[in-house]
Amino acid sequence: MQDEMSLAPWQLPAGRKLVLASEQDREALAGSSIEHLVRYLEPGSTGIPVLRNTFPLLAVAFSKESEASLKTILSSIRQLRTVPEVEVLRLEAGKSEKAFELMRALLDGGVGRVASFSASFTAELALLRREREALLENYRALEDAFQARNWEPLAETFVHDPYVDPKDEGIGQLLASGFIDQLLPVSSLGVAGIALHLSSVPKDGGALSVTLSYVESEETVAEWTVDYKNLVTGWNYFSLPRACGGAARTLRLRVSTSGTETIGLSLGYPIASERYTTRSNVEHPDLDLRPLAFRVYTGVPGVAPTLAPNMIAPTSTQGTPRVQNYHLPVDLLKQVIDVSVSSIVPDFETISFLEHEHALVCHPLPSGITAGAISGAVEAGTTSLSANAIIDHPEGAPAAVSFLLAPANTDPRSKVEEIERSEPAFPTAMFSGWREVGPESPISINMQLDEPLGGPMDLMILSRAVGDSVDFSWLKVSGFRIVRQSPAAAGTGDVHVQ
């Protein structure tokens, strides 16, 4: 057998076949300069031939029979649509050496390199096609599993079960004086509602405020303000009017309460990720690495989950005037100043801030009005404000308490003097009117404004004596809550809740 080292370069085996010929013409092509480029096909074949390591650019025939056979085979190859049209070149046996030389020079040169590149490209396409088919099969399997799961109108996508720690002190008072934030560790896409677990619910005396918003844009999705009488012990489902759509975003839940009685909002098991633990405006030992007990649902909006005993519709949603219901921050309460109007100079501090209770003390005097002012506490858009008041001593003398609003650019003491001169002072748009309070039970001070405020206002807390004595009349005012409204522009977060 002749060694390859003794062969001429054009006689070396080709890496890829570029010429098609019939098996009938093998003798005519034997020993030619293009023999190493030829793929021989069996005549009379009707199916698509196996063209392994072949990218045909030319077809040669030396007889009518072989030419007809090649045309039949080439017509079936066209169905592949991965090779160019191939023409059959008719040659004469024994007189085609010059044609062979010309074809070899053409196929071994630029055309051959282009054909090699096209063949590699075609092989890559075939590989990608097989991978695509495998991915489609996997996708169909996932889709079938998803459809099987979604026969139910609602699907629970995430849950933190409630967990009672023997050392729990309860977070009811924290909710009444502040708020709790909880990031939801799921995408917003398709969320139709959330459920919160309550371990105990007072019969009356307050309301639960829940706000769902986007972290990225600070845009409010929906808000729920629910009286205690409409809540139940266990899971309470807060439904959205339509499921969250569009781009997937991060959801944040904010919970707070109002009223004199506290509610038992449940916490979950401790988790390692600090990002998804509860946050509050003040520290609380029970919040250490613990999330809220909550569930997240996707599916059809307005449908109650099977295990939720009740469903709560939102009081406001995205695209409507946004109502922000929040407590005055502690840093703002610390800025209270004394603007009292009285002829008596006491030997004790009548206006002060209680750090551990987030409350203000406004001790009345035998004559005049004791008053504390917080500059710019009430923002534009406010529609109402409220607080709880009580005489914080079992033997304390009763007192009268009220709220007064004044423009931020005026002297607050002069406004207090106007109230003192206009005895008896009746309630007005900016004055709540006097209410008597004693040590037995707290009262609620409320101001409902006829229309939202057009600009920021100073908040003043006023107190005065109602009898001959002011002994131990430590008037404590806490739980300052503001309800603020402003038009919500789609896609913006123009309202910032303190």
pLDDT, tens digit (0-9, with 9 covering 90-100), for 443-459? 888 888 888 888 899 99
Position 318 confidence tier, pLDDT thresholds 50, 70, 90: low
Instruction: State what percent of residues in the chain have pLDDT above 70.
Output: 87
Q: Is the pLDDT of residue 150 over 70?
A: no
Q: Is the pLDDT of residue 373 over 90?
A: yes
Which three-class secondary structure state does DSSP give residue 265?
strand
pLDDT, tens digit (0-9, with 9 covering 90-100), for 102-148? 777 777 766 666 666 776 777 788 788 888 888 888 777 776 666 65
Closest to 258 (Cα-Cα) out of 447, 403, 385: 385
pLDDT of residue 5: 38
The mean pLDDT value of the chain amounts to: 82
Distance, CA of 401 to CA of 335 (rounded, Å): 20
What mean pLDDT do residues 407-412 have?
88
pLDDT of residue 404: 93
Q: What are the residue ranges of helices labelled H in 408-464?
A: 412-421
Position 152 confidence tier, pLDDT thresholds 50, 70, 90: low
What mean pLDDT do residues 423-440 have?
83
Q: Is the pLDDT of residue 158 over 60?
A: yes
Q: What is the secondary structure of 201-225 as a DSSP string?
A: --SSSEEEEEEEEETTT--EEEEEE
Q: What is the secondary structure of 157-195 as a DSSP string?
A: EEE--B---TT---SHHHHHHS-EEEEEEEESTTEEEEE
- The CB-side HSE value for 367 (13 A sphere, CA atoms) comes to 5
Closest to 49 (Cα-Cα) out of 15, 91, 87, 83: 83
Token pair listed for 279: 């946050």
Residues 6+ apart with CB under 8 A from 313: 224, 239, 241
Residues 6+ apart with CB under 8 A from 374: 328, 332, 333, 335, 336, 337, 458, 459, 460
What mean pLDDT do residues 433-444 have?
88
Contact 478, 387 (CB under 8 A): yes
pLDDT of residue 172: 83
Q: What share of the chain is helix, strand, coil (3-state, %, to 5)?
A: 25, 35, 40
pLDDT of residue 133: 83
Residues 6+ apart with CB under 8 A from 110: none
Supply angle C-alpha 172, 175, 177, rounded to 5.
110
Strands (E), 62-107: 88-90
Residues 6+ apart with CB under 8 A from 242: 301
pLDDT of residue 115: 66
pLDDT, tens digit (0-9, with 9 covering 90-100), for 268-317? 999 988 888 998 888 888 888 899 999 999 888 888 887 777 899 888 76
Distance, CA of 326 to CA of 185 (rounded, Å): 24
Residue environment code for 11-29, b if the CB has 16+ CB neighbours within 10 A, otherwise e: eeebeebbbbbbebbeebb
What mean pLDDT do residues 487-495 have?
38
Which three-class secondary structure state does DSSP give residue 174?
helix
Q: CA separation (Å) from 139 to 132, 136, 146, 189?
A: 10, 5, 10, 20
pLDDT of residue 349: 92
Residue with tokens 């029970």: 286
pLDDT of residue 122: 75
pLDDT, tens digit (0-9, with 9 covering 90-100), for 21-75? 888 888 888 878 788 888 888 877 766 777 777 777 788 888 888 888 888 888 8
CA 22 to chain centre: 67
Distance, CA of 416 to CA of 41 (rounded, Å): 109
Position 210 confidence tier, pLDDT thresholds 50, 70, 90: very high
pLDDT, tens digit (0-9, with 9 covering 90-100), for 190-203? 899 999 999 999 88
Of residues 151 and 232, more confidence is placed in 232
One-letter identity of residue 233: T
pLDDT of residue 81: 67
- E strand or H helix that includes residue 250: strand 250-259
Contact 154, 293 (CB under 8 A): no
Which three-class secondary structure state does DSSP give residue 76?
helix
Contact 57, 18 (CB under 8 A): yes
Distance, CA of 399 to CA of 404 (rounded, Å): 16
Residue with tokens 């303000």: 225
Position 320 confidence tier, pLDDT thresholds 50, 70, 90: very low
Residues 6+ apart with CB under 8 A from 76: 46, 47, 48, 49
Token pair listed for 116: 């090699």
pLDDT of residue 105: 74
CA 468 to chain centre: 59
Residue with tokens 């399997």: 141
Which of 163-172, 187-196, 382-391 comes out lowest in average pLDDT?
A: 163-172
Supply angle C-alpha 175, 178, 182, rounded to 5.
70
pLDDT of residue 322: 58
Q: Is the pLDDT of residue 153 over 80?
A: no
